[in-house]
Structure 1
Amino acid sequence: MSNSTQNTNPLFTSRIHYPVNFDGRCESNIPYGVDPSLVMDIYYPKSMKSRVPVVIFVTGYPDFGFEQMTGMKIKQIQQYISWAQLFAASGIAAITYTNVNPEKDIFTLLRYLDDNSSSLGIDPNKVSIWSCSGNVPNALSVLDEKTQIKCAAFLYGYTIDGFGSQAVEHASKSFGFVHPINEGILTKLPPVLVVRAGKDEMPGLNDSIDSFVSQCLRQNQPLTLLNLPNSNHAFDIVDNQGCTQQAIRTILGFFKDHLTR
């Protein structure tokens, strides 16, 4: 398949179904590791009187494999760009990035932010995570290790296998994403928003969400579930309906509540 054909896939060329009035700036291809292929884009709000909170779009796919399949890097897909612009327009900086080893490189990025927060204009005490689909297992590994993450939102994502299930493991092998946490449950979570698409067709995905939510509630974790009974996988770019805009508004409000208020 040629790159030109791959780049017409609406999953990678469609922006979110929400008005985005981005008037900030994007600093592109900032190196964050020794490997020159490790770079990030930071979308900044227009007005920055002080250091700003930040949301990181955590990925679970290595860029090499993703680019082979799609013809583009993950940070180049319009879904991520439009979400990042929306956050920046709302006063929250947003980071998309390239990676070679998803499990390792996200921690390299976090260390770089810790070490360079002042020059980057980022508040190191207000770092958050956005992740979706097959990227979520890697994002969960960050919460397992990085306890200072302020909050996280997981959209229509595979989570953690539990109660003998192997759905996440099988999906990982089929789709090529990493899942560092093979089983069990995280013992201490920051505020987490889980967004569930009721009509999600991905095998075992909603079962993994249901199990994860159930375990979190039994442990009285600070988890909020947003269930969208009539929405599909990747609803933010494939479902142009009123409930999509409302869901995006709710997700954005979740981050504002924990980062800016």
Structure 2
Amino acid sequence: MSGKDSPQNVIKKFQNRQKMMPYVLGGLAGALVIGGIFIIITVLGGNNKPFSGLFSTKTPTVTVTATPTATQPSPTPSMTPTETLTPTPEASPTPDKPFQYVVKEDDNCWLIAFNNNADLLYLQQINLFTDPLNTCPISPGDIIWVPAPGQKIPTPTRVPDDVARGTRYDYIIQSGDTLASIASYFNSTVEDILNYNRNIADENSIDVGDRIVVRANLITPTPTLRATSTLANQTPGLPSPSVTATP
């Protein structure tokens, strides 16, 4: 029986084990109960209850990073300027014959002629400003005649010397005429003009636009203008004078 336990020892060890078994089972049962209670508390209590941290698993937080999206810039509308129509000023028509003018303060004949591009001598002539001591007798408010721009004193062409003596012309008196000047143009005489035009009562009173008969080349030398000759009474704007020869 050497090397082996005796039956008494075996029985004794078995008995000892039997005595310890309730303690072992009780410990296991207690551990199971405590573990079950702990699990129940953790499940029911959530993250805000005690002991929840012992069984909690840290869940990684997903971080969403906003990626900037390329934005196509919208074109900025440009303001289109609205065309403004500017009315074209109408040019004042240039007079083609003498016109009436109301004299203003500080006016004089030279200034009126200059401002209207008119001939000064013609302005004085058509207004009968013949007084050598007062060549511009005007006052504010007076109405005078002003020649058209560029209009000059008409100068009739002298009758050629080869025209037959006594050839008769129908002549329309024009601005600036006197019987003496008409006689000079036609190589005639004032007396002959008066003789052929009985309607002229006074040689110093003739009117622009009147038609008279003049005989040409009655004399060879040019007669001297009479000092008493008077310009024709003015009626500006009449048609240009015409001369008609009558054989």
* Higher percent of residues as helix: 1
TM-score by length of 2: 0.22
Larger radius of gyration: 2
TM-score by length of 1: 0.21
